[in-house]
Amino acid sequence: MVLSLLTLLLSGDVARADIIEMMICFAALLFCMFVSLPVHESAHAYAAYRLGDETGRLSGRISLNPFDHLSFAGTMLMLFIGVGFAKPVPVNIRNFKNRKLGFALTAVAGPLSNILMSVAAVLVAALIAAFAAPSNAAVLLNLFFFYIAVYNFALALFNLIPIPPLDGSRLVTLVLPDKYYYKLLQYERYFIYIILGLSFLNNRIGLLPSWSDAAFIVVSFLETFLINIFH
């Protein structure tokens, strides 16, 4: 995220946000790590299975158990710099009838699951804001579901960046000629280090708007829109 909430808490730098809101944000981040990421990875494995590849299913990746999906390094990076990763779901594209299309549909299933969870969470947040009696508990619950929506949408946006090995790259490679497609697959493992490095620098320097900023704006607009409908 823009700046790791855990880093702020450990450093004692609370000038940028109220401590209570920071704790709610951190709780929402933990929720996304232990619920949203497993759903995301399971969506990849399930989509591949439905398209003819059982590799992920046989590896136990159609599972909501977070420990089947989380990696230690990726989890630590997510906590301390706000950008991390889970263990990739194994996919054997030879099992798809149409290799490129099957791989692309398998890839897009993950971000789609996060968008659906984001919409569900912002809907709950809007219902709380519109109908719950004014109280501290209602405010905290609203913030919790709001940030769950933000983090899920940010996760979807990040994964849809069209750079290997992120999910969005599968949509680009869908139209690449085979000679470039398979060449790219050979080297894509190295791109993740470039992505993490650039993300870390951008989080610290702020050269470009981040996907979490964009997600915050979109979710805020959607919540306001839903509240106006409910009223």
Active site residues: 41
The DSSP secondary-structure symbol of 228 reads H
The DSSP secondary-structure symbol of 70 reads B
Rounded Cα distance between 107 and 169, Å, is 9
Q: What are phi and psi of 86, to 5 degrees?
A: -105, 175
Q: Is the distance from CB of 168 to CB of 162 less than 8 angstroms?
A: yes
Q: Is the distance from CB of 53 to CB of 93 less than 8 angstroms?
A: yes
Rounded Cα distance between 144 and 139, Å, is 9
Q: What three-state secondary structure class fits 69? A: coil
Q: What three-state secondary structure class fits 51? A: coil
**How far is it between the farthest Cα atoms of the chain?**
61
Rounded Cα distance between 63 and 94, Å, is 23
